Structure 1
């Protein structure tokens, strides 16, 4: 394969000769990508290391690209012709010269937190998954070269489509980088000096039309082949009826359903308070029956549904509805309730929004009766939108 700057990240393992500079070799190993130069002095051949290439490294890093490698090779060949030493000292790998990589720091932080235990251990797996996913392009970069500009770039990339996830990442990563600074893996924790963008960066106003609701509902019964896909289709329909958060439904177990009502404990929802909802007939048909410890919408190996983004993309193709999110189903349900004349405080109770300000201190009513009435009203309107077959569950 011919060497080019664009091809460097995807070159297969082995030695790749440059077609421009004789003796310049790009060696791809299992863990490193190394530039070497092979040359002859008299009857003896030598091979020296010029530098290392790190895929997706920022421009200011010590990663050596094709142009830099060719320039360095020309310089060394000139020294060979002049009869002077080619290399004064061993070329260090960027990981060695800059200490631990971003990925290394995340691994060490995870081990330290697990060993320490205590508060935050329960959310640690999700925190580390988020950090590694958002910073996937920087995991091989020396941690001391990871800059505030890199952080802002990663933050803003996520915030374009998921501002709340962006803020969550900043919180998770801030704790990790604070530990890294305390352990001298990085010079200082600049995360605390970097602003969160907040959900205000991308204001969501999408309310799905009746035609879009019907198209999505019908597509949920589409040709999903996997166990994840079948469960996902039922869950999306359930979210459409109930107006609750995606993962509250995703982690729902049959033991949480008591006499046709869904009980969420204070630890099972974002608002941190007990929340009861009576399931309308359409929702009851969708959940079916199962053992108390079984997930209602179980994916592969009876676990929580995986690959939400992939399944959502497939659903978009099947339905023909683009640019919507699962959370828009909540906004759609609440908007229709508003148009039906349901009081705002009842809609907030259905959505389980935390009461802000002084009201949160004094008002602790569960409003179970009016919540049930509001959901029943929404289910009646939704059934009319979907048509006479709406009550046929999968």
Structure 2
């Protein structure tokens, strides 16, 4: 089945040859003469047309074929057709909203303002490229299912679930806005059953990972080390800013706006971590700690992970598994579960109810001791000898740090 898709632009003689063919035909309307345009067919045929309306009935009139009829000739013919029709003639058909155009609008107006992981949502929606040129109103459940099946066939079953969740939100949003009449995938169940991950790097793999980080060039080597030493999320570490680090107090404060659970998170920094951060060159005019451009944080984690995989070997693992690995090792070192939860900035219910309210500002010292102990164990793997000795405790207390915080940051801890 063929579908007509519409776009609007200023038609110029020099741009007509650059209109490329697609799998399905599409129309390009002229912004200077809105009812006039050109239809490009999969065969390569380009036909001029104009829409007129007589007695409430809309008609498409084919004027000629390019290049036999030039743009100027076609525009003149369109004007003649419009002038000979009643005054109601120059009516442009209601634009068709295709998925390719719907995605950026949804991301910009809905996902980005409300979701800290909007980039993941955008990435998941772009996986529907195979049906991106279909109008939203003509996308059917089997169309979506076919895309999900292809994602699963590529070995990304969990990603298929995320893609379904993203496009469900998109359809629901456009349904609320009245852009479509029905949601074709309402009630569609996730295509694969997710199994909670329990991958933990063993000590040999951990040693190899640390060695690989030492072999990495700036800034990825330092990034992996800080990831391991702090047990924080990949995005939180990658987007770390100099203004968030208090070197005197040896803490890193992740603001609520960047923390996944929306709560300001204080991360004590072990001497080894402070030494690594102090060694990182600052890009003039940039707030980002890990950056190569100064304008944005580092990216390209897929390539980094490929290099780490080559060094570490073993079973498949993800960067996020490093958090679970640190948590497991902290438990082996005797750290209590509620302290590990505090280190990870998790709210899993170990401390809940009224107790959670009264313990919001607790465990900073315990987190500090846990991460200091973990850093001592981890840096013992170093092939470059012992790290330079640092003061055992920071020069400022948490009480002093807390007093200098804004009211909003205090409340969100």
TM-score range, shorter chain: 0.5 to 0.7
Partner of 2:101: 104
Q: Secondary structure at the match of 1:137?
A: helix
CA distance change for structure 1 residues 203 and 235 in 2, over 3 Å: closer, same or farther? same
In 2, are the aligned partners of 1:251 and 1:295 still within 8 Å (CA)? yes
- 1:189, CA displacement in angstroms? 1.6
Partner of 1:188: 182
Q: Secondary structure at the match of 2:262?
A: coil
Partner of 1:77: none
Q: Which runs of 5+ in 1 are unaligned?
A: 1-27, 36-48, 54-95, 225-229
In 1, are the aligned partners of 2:200 and 2:328 still within 8 Å (CA)? yes
Q: TM-score, structure 1 length as denominator? A: 0.64
- Alignment of 1:203 onto 2:196: yes
Aligned residue among 223, 227, 233 for 1:235: 223
CA distance change for structure 1 residues 374 and 123 in 2, over 3 Å: closer, same or farther? closer
- Alignment of 1:296 onto 2:289: yes
Partner of 1:30: 20
Partner of 1:286: 276
- 1:350, CA displacement in angstroms? 0.8
CA distance change for structure 1 residues 247 and 261 in 2, over 3 Å: closer, same or farther? same
RMSD of the alignment, in Å?
3.9
- 1:371, CA displacement in angstroms? 0.6
Q: Distance in 2 between matches of 1:375 and 1:279?
A: 7
- 1:317, CA displacement in angstroms? 2.6
CA distance change for structure 1 residues 321 and 234 in 2, over 3 Å: closer, same or farther? farther
Alignment map for 1:84-95 (pairs within 5 Å): none
CA distance change for structure 1 residues 183 and 244 in 2, over 3 Å: closer, same or farther? closer
In 2, are the aligned partners of 1:256 and 1:264 still within 8 Å (CA)? yes
Q: Distance in 2 between matches of 1:102 and 1:190?
A: 13
TM-superposition CA deviations, 1:229-288 (whole Å, max 9, x none): x32222111111111111110111111111210112222211222221211122112212
- 1:299, CA displacement in angstroms? 3.2
The total of aligned residue pairs comes to 299
Q: Which runs of 5+ in 2 are unaligned?
A: 1-17, 26-38, 44-92, 389-413
Alignment map for 1:229-378 (pairs within 5 Å): 230-258=218-246, 259-288=249-278, 290=282, 294-320=287-313, 323-356=316-349, 359-364=352-357, 365=359, 366-378=362-374
- 1:335, CA displacement in angstroms? 0.7
CA distance change for structure 1 residues 360 and 326 in 2, over 3 Å: closer, same or farther? farther
- 1:208, CA displacement in angstroms? 0.7
In 2, are the aligned partners of 1:101 and 1:140 still within 8 Å (CA)? yes
CA distance change for structure 1 residues 150 and 310 in 2, over 3 Å: closer, same or farther? farther
Partner of 1:10: none
Q: TM-score, structure 2 length as denominator? A: 0.61
Alignment map for 1:89-238 (pairs within 5 Å): 99-109=96-106, 113=109, 120=113, 126=119, 129-152=122-145, 154=147, 157=151, 161=156, 163=158, 169-182=163-176, 185-196=179-190, 201-222=194-215, 230-238=218-226
CA distance change for structure 1 residues 178 and 239 in 2, over 3 Å: closer, same or farther? same
In 1, are the aligned partners of 2:342 and 2:367 still within 8 Å (CA)? yes
In 2, are the aligned partners of 1:101 and 1:139 still within 8 Å (CA)? yes
CA distance change for structure 1 residues 124 and 356 in 2, over 3 Å: closer, same or farther? closer
